[in-house]
Amino acid sequence: MRMLKTLAWVMLALLAVDVLMGFFLVTDDGQPAIDAPTLLPLIMVAALATLVAFGYAPFGARAAWRKPAGREPVHAVLDGEGFRHEGLSGSQSFTWSVATRALETNEAYYVYISNGLASLVYWLPKRAVPLGDQAAVRAHLQAHIPRYQIR
């Protein structure tokens, strides 16, 4: 993923140079070196590269938990220090101080961790939480994360 983001940043830089040169350079007859039909595909590629470079965390997290690999058994612990989870693909933990916001949907709880320009998203599928414990999970997240949304 890091290589893909690096490639996206390089592509954005090259596209910016190309577009700027197109506007500032002119042909022999005084017309801009780049015209609108040439510029439109460059803008579309730049938009796609921007999404890859900056990340689109909510889409990635929601799509990832629907994949079979995201349906592995997981053991999650929410306590006063933070959130930890362990699964077949590894384990992860974070403290509450790094969580910037949380979102609850019908399918899962999402906790957003700021990572510079983008956000990391940790999710806990509701199907993994017993029905009687969901209110306690909601209360725990609301107590530790200032921006909590229910959607």
| Cα angle 139, 140, 146; round to 5 | 90
Average pLDDT of span 53-62: 55
Q: pTM above 0.75?
A: no
User: Which residue carries 């790094």 as its tokens?
Assistant: 98
Q: Which residue has the higher pLDDT, 116 or 150?
A: 150
103's enclosing H/E stretch is strand 99-104
Query: For 19-56, how does the pLDDT look when each residue is reduced to its tens digit (9 = 90+)?
Result: 777 667 766 777 766 676 777 777 777 777 776 666 65
Query: What tokens appear for 87 in the block?
Result: 């699964």
Q: Which residue has the higher pLDDT, 39 or 145?
A: 145
Query: What tokens appear for 43 in the block?
Result: 């803008």
DSSP state of 126: G
Average pLDDT of span 123-150: 86
**Whole-angstrom Cα distance, residue 138 to residue 34?**
54
Q: Are 30 and 3 in contact (CB under 8 A)?
A: no
Query: What tokens appear for 30 in the block?
Result: 């005084």
- Residue 67 pLDDT more than 60? no
Predicted local distance difference test score (pLDDT) of residue 38: 73
Predicted local distance difference test score (pLDDT) of residue 62: 52
Query: For 69-125, how does the pLDDT look when each residue is reduced to its tens digit (9 = 90+)?
Result: 555 677 788 888 888 878 777 788 888 888 888 999 988 888 888 776 667 788 788
Contacts of 60 (CB under 8 A, 6+ apart): 121
**Whole-angstrom Cα distance, residue 99 to residue 66?**
23
